[in-house]
Structure 1
Amino acid sequence: MYGMLLESVQYFIQLEYGEEAWREVVRLARCKWYVFNTHHIYPDGLMPELAAAAAELLADPVDPPEDSGDGACGKGGGIGGGGCGSDPPTADSFMRYFGKCFVRFFSNLGYDAPIRATGRYFCEFLKNVDNLHLQMRFAYPKMKSPSMYMSHVDRNGCVLVYRSTRRGFTQYFMGQLDQIANEVYATKLKIRVLQEELNTTTVSAQLMASAVAKAAGPQNVLVKYRLDFDNSAFMDQYAAVQTFDRLQLPSIPVGVLLRLFPFGVIIDRGIRIMDAGEKLLSVWGVSTADEVRGHGVIEHFVLRRPRDIPFTWTNLMYLTSVTFELEVLRGTHAISTTEKNGSSTKGEKKSVSPLPATLDRRGSYGSRSILLKGQMRHIKEIDVVVFLCSPVVNNLDELQAMSLYMNDLNLHGLSRELVLAGWQHCSRLEMMFERAEQWSQDLEDNYEQLDKWKRKGDYLLYSMLPKSVADQLQNGQATMNTCKAFNLVSVMFCEVQGLRQQVTIQGVMNVVKCMNTVFSCFDSLTDRFHVYKVETVNQVYMAVSGAPEYTREHARNVTNLSLEFAENIRNLQSDIQIQIKIGIHSGPVVAGVVGMKVPRYCLFGDTVNTASRMQTTSQPGKIHISVTTKRLLPQNMYTLTSRGPVTVKGKGKMETFWVDKKPKSPQTEKRHSV
């Protein structure tokens, strides 16, 4: 189904039940789409699944939403503002509600205008529904529209027969009819189902049309409805037309009618050809009608529209107001088709297309097939049906492809004018179409490039700032709003030593290359230990744990990272012999982004200064920590050695410690060796 049907469901559930209710319905239905695209094709089973989920979660939609109180009713607690009916909500009630939502939705888009134009009365609309679907297929070419006709009409309503290839949409269709009758024709409608059945395609039909069986499915749904409404105005008009006095003229030969419609066909009750127009006979390659008289219609035609109905006399009587499309089978094609179908065509008067069910008028383009479009008109006096039709031709190219000429087309119709107008505007339309295609392709390319550059920008931004802080700035918050006080974090400074000042360009490049190797190695380790790299200044690497994402293990994370730094430096292969000395201190800080240009996540406070002093007073290859950090570390995981009082600039005497990995026990070493 097209996304427009699902869009209507989404819109009205969000409107009447709320955004959160729609999210819960989508989640319970296990639907992978939260929003829908109008012209995108979605699975047919998605609508019943949404209805079943809505019945579990939402209040019954039978009553108006404004009468619901707090909305806490129904089977699943009644999320949203739906009404609280006496009966618990069901999937059928929501399918009917979804049908009403679709009519309300397309009325807002202006699609109610074609419905109002179909006729003055509700019955006239029902007679022309198939024609509406026929016109809408240009905007929605893959639409699987149902077919319907009225089998009985009286003053109190009618009996409507509905056919569809979709199962589970009986209540949905009832909701559509109810809303159209009420909203467009101001008619109160009562609907009940008289009969519902599944027609399984027979074996012979599958042999005749395997492609159709694959496209449309092996089963067709047939539902017979009784519609009760005031139909007296329509019946009075119908009676007045029947009693209208007309001028009586003498009988005329049927050949006169066929000269007016040179592609017309006269059909008897046995669905056999009685006569045909001269142009149609020439298409078949026969000289007189005697050569095709008595042949079955389906031996020379393929029924394209209406779809999925048997080509029977009863259906022709019911569908006199529906536009028919028949594809002409030419010469040897018709003969071979007749021989291939054999007895199956005699036993079952059903014309099934050997082409996909989604075929539209373009199916005959570029081929020698002719598509005839017109009305099946019953003439009571002689009890025959006349197919009053014209070939569907859009331009001169199609006319030549069908081996037809302008002289073959009806003079009294618009066929010739349409062909000439199509030929005159064809080149302009083709140019506009190519230009629109180019614009569409350029737009897709631009969107792709935009998405590519956005990903690059996000990657660069997240590499410069913490993700949570970057998201705040992208949402338009001021830089000062990112500043936050942290009661206790651990800050680490690591200085790379052994990089002597160089005089030559090559020497400087070697130093830069060595620093890049070391700092890249450090960067790859920070995420493993939940530590954020703050900055690098000259040969000093600064990192913090506990900010911007707070963790209670901040001292342990920074210590483990420092030990890993020392281990990797010892194993690092480099032309320059380097060492590191590390200092760590824990305490309160204020962190955030300051300034407008070259934004940077900075740390402020005495904790930063003390951690820097721990690094400057450290020794090569050593990890120097303050007593505050030492108290936060688990004693059984590290070897902590007191350094004694150390004179720290700006702090005086401080008790500090060396930290190292705890040596492994013999049992642990033995287990690891095994």
Structure 2
Amino acid sequence: MSGYDRMLRTLGGNLTEFIENLDALHSYLALSYQEMNAPSFRVEKGADEKTLLHYYSDRSGLCHIVPGIIESVAKDFFDTDVTMDILDMSKEEERTGKKEHVVFLVVQKSHRQMRRAKPNRLQDNQDIQRDQEALEAAFLRMKEKYLSVSVCPVKKSHWEIVRSIVMFGKGHLVNTFVPVYPERLWIEQKTFCNAFPFHIVFDESLRVKQAGVNIQKYVPGLQTQKIRLDEYFSIIHPQVTFNIFSICKFINSQFVLKARRERMPEAWKSQPALKLRGQMIWMESVGCMIYMCSPKLRSLQELEERKMHLSDIAPHDTTRDLILLNQQRLAEIELSNQLERKKEELRVLSKHLAIEKKKTETLLYAMLPEHVANQLKEGKKVAAGEFETCTILFSDVVTFTNICAACHPIQIVKMLNSMYSKFDRLTSVHEVYKVETIGDAYMVVGGVPVPIGSHAQRVANFALGMRISAKEVMNPITGEPIQIRVGIHTGPVLAGVVGDKMPRYCLFGDTVNTASRMESHGLPDKVHLSPTAYSALENQGFEIIERGEIEVKGKGKMTTYFLIRNLHASEDEIMGRPQSLPDRKG
């Protein structure tokens, strides 16, 4: 059950009381929803359990949903069946413009009466009239019994009196309650004005007759002779014309009055105007209206801005509690808003952190194999791994030393960057791992760190792509394409991470040395193969020619080979370029 449901169920003990207190509930909700524009309801009681409901609203056309709402409330809250019919619809001119005024005829009958009536449908009118007369006679007897309580013998205790009333009526004590009023009001004028420091009494012409002490304090001159209330105040809610007729129409509404700034002392005009919230009560015997009110304040800040104190509000006035409770609520709302702002800031920071983390991981994975990088991130030691067979490639730029001697360093950097960028792209095309670059030397491996059977073919295709890419890089001295030497060898290696600072994934073993010798003993613009590399590529769709036997430093005589081309792949496939579709003839 929601909080609003409980609030609605406690508005009144019957449907009439419920409707009469709806405006008060709307005024309370307006504290939290200041833009709320609620309708107003006024009940006019008639005979024969008939009630006239007056509905006022700034928004036309919504009156047709009122019967459904009221009928549901009557059935759910008060076990009563209600029928509603529209008697009159009109537009009335108020301060905010045309206000819709709809009068409903409300006839209600309890479910108990409905259930009792069902079996008697076939009885004639005489039987029904007889039942009604019996009911009225029983009610008169109960009333007489209750009225006799005041003259009952003193011997009876208070409990016996109450018990006799309840037992006679066989119902709830509230149902038999009749209020008793004193012959005269036992309170002095001074005491009343102090006990209710915020109240105003005015007549039909709005002339002020009486005011509480604190209203006089904060609205000086209010009790000057023949002062009209509308000279010092304007009606904020409900938005109606300030006259006695309009006030009577909305007598069930909470009225909010605002002090006119121009009537305030000069020193007070800079502070917020005083607002009062309360109930209008018409006193028929004296022809006057009394406005029982309190300052309309929502927080201690508003209290301080108006130079007021909690002591200015009567101890019995719940406005004190409302200010303190609402101050606590505002503090909780502000704390909640701060938490929401911090949550949003954290969300943005988390998003930025994820982007930066992605950049960091991309950079890290460019330097180390992914599985190695993940182990290092987790603080684990990376064990060296032995690979039974892989293919290693080395390359360098022909006459690089001479180029460096004749050029500015920035020209060398630009040349190497252009060349290495093209080579790096090819590593992704052929899925080989770039181990390192030192100066003009470029080293890659196939089959490490992830073993794969086609490692030799991948490295061979990469080498052919390097040779094509090198033709697109110009020598800063001559303006001609640079030339590279490439050497390839296949064999076993040991691979692992060395060092704590700037760790590198390195390869160890004689296979590395042999591959380097193939590069250094190669020829410009040629891909030099060792015997084991030739064996791995033989009959794999490559054109290879024998170079012959040569002397290799530290290795002795070796029969080596040159890789010419891939017999089954085009240049576009080697370079990883998008292939154009062949022209179709219709």
**What is the TM-score of this pair, normalised by structure 1?**
0.44
Tell me which structure has the larger Cα radius of gyration. 2
More strand by share: 2
**What is the TM-score of this pair, normalised by structure 2?**
0.49
